[in-house]
Structures are given as structure tokens and as C-alpha cells.
Amino acid sequence: MRSIVVLPTYNERENVGAMLDALVNLGEGLEIVVVDDNSPDGTAAIVEDRARRHSGIHTVVRRGERGLGTAYACGFRHAVDLGAEAIVTMDCDFSHDPEDVPRLLERLACCDIALGSRYVPGGGTRGWPVRRKLLSRAANAFARACLGLETRDCTSGFRAYRGSLLECLIRQPLHSRGYSIQVELLARGIRQFGAGIVEIPILFHERQLGSSKIGWREAAAGGRAILAVRRQLVRLQPTPSLPAGLGAPAAGAQPTGANRG
């Protein structure tokens, strides 16, 4: 499969070079699309330097818009246009281990979304303060209750999608401009396309360099976006004819994330 990592960045000059090197060193023809929100710290210049050395690195600099949700939507469109058959999303700060990317891609042989999960046996977090743990648990509980999801880690941003599924999902406008895009894509994939989900245990590491962009204000905005997604899902009807490859059963495991609403 042609596999592309979509990597949103904002003020990540301390991490982005090492992250790109780590992904390139995985080999196997992996490509990277970096979507930078015109970082004032010069992140884009570092990416462009790496892109001159590695043809598989693509740079998109957005100058009039900011936000994780819209950055991902931009990156998805770029990856689909490049012909991606598998699309990985992850953070640039090494909270997601690049060495886990091949595990996610391998599982796409038996599902539509392979989700790196902190909340299944074998998964977890390292270095998180109590406040961050409470915030994450509360966000996941709210998403599951509001949208009727069974997935344990609805908010995880470390995932691999089938390109055909994301191509379908981005044909309609996305409500989420921030972190809640993870929940919106998951819920719509399940409800609209019957996507099969497999959760794979990962360890999430608190960033060592740079500053986090998540807090209670972002969580509140995410909650409002999830409520908007809920209203949207009520109007959505399942697609009667699924694109090839969607809804694939998981081999050796029951897919999670079935919609109960």
C-alpha cells in the first residue's frame, strides 16, 4: 500500500526534524505530509530542508487558518490526491512512538481504522499529570456516552485509516476545528460506512520538548463540537453500497466502536 503519514505542526522546531528522520528511517516507502500553520518559530523551514533531501516528504504551509481539525482535513485531501491507500495520523512531539507506525499499518489488512489505544490492556500513558489523565478520561467518557461508541480510546490521534474511507469522509464538511476531529471521524466512519475498528495497545509519552496545545478550554470546545456531530449523525443514513474494502471484519479480534445510537 502507498502509505502516508499526515503530521500537523505548530511551533514544533524542537521535534519536527527528529520526527521526520525517525519516520524516514522506518523505510518501506513511507511518505509524510507535514501541514504547518505558518509557525513563527521556523518549523516549516526545517521541514523544507528535509524535503529537499527526501522526495517522500511533502510540505503544506497554511497562512490564513489555524487549528488541528482543519489542518488534518487539509492533509487528508493532500494525501488522497497523492493516491494514499493508507493514511496515518500522529503527533509530532514523540508522544506517539514512530516505531508503532508499522503495527498500525499491518492491522489495516483486517480493519478500516487501526487505532492506537491507551485504554485497552497493554496500553497506557507515561509522564502525565493527574489533571491530564482526568481530562482524557472525561473526554472519552463524554464521547462514548454522547455518540454511543464502544471504542475505549475515542480521542486517540494515533491511527491508520484506509485511504478509501477517508476519501469518503472528507467529501462532506467536518464540524471539528480542533482535537474533536478524532471523535468525529470515528463516529462518522462507524455510523455512515460501517467501518471496522481495531484498538491496538500503545504507550503515550508526555512530550519532553515544546509546549502542549491541549487544555480545558480546548476540551470545552471539543465537547461543543461533539454535540454538533451528534446532531449531524441523527440526520445521516448508512451508505447502502460501501466502497471496496470498507467494513472489513477484523481477523482474530472483534472490531470495536459499533454505534449503539
- pLDDT digits (tens), the chain, 261 positions: 899 999 999 999 999 999 999 999 998 789 999 999 999 999 999 999 999 999 999 999 998 778 888 999 999 999 999 999 999 999 999 999 999 999 999 999 999 999 999 999 999 999 888 888 888 888 888 889 888 899 999 999 999 999 999 999 998 888 777 788 999 999 999 988 999 999 999 999 886 655 555 555 665 666 666 766 766 665 655 664 445 445 544 333 334 443 333
Amino acid at 78: H
- Give the per-residue SS3 of 238-249: CCCCCCCCCCCC
Q: Residue 219's CB: how many other CB atoms inside 10 A?
A: 18
Q: CA torsion 252→1→77→238, rounded to 10°?
A: -40
Which value, in Å, is the radius of gyration of the alpha carbons in the chain? 17
- Tell how strand 86-89 and strand 159-162 pair up: antiparallel
Are 135 and 144 within 8 A, CB to CB? Answer: no
Domains present along the chain, CATH in parentheses: 3-235 (3.90.550.10)
Task: Indicate the pTM of the whole model.
Answer: 0.85
- Kindly give, in sequence order, each residue whose CB lies less than 8 Å from that of residue 35, ignoring residues fewer than 6 positions away: 6, 7, 8, 9, 60, 62, 71, 72, 74, 75, 78
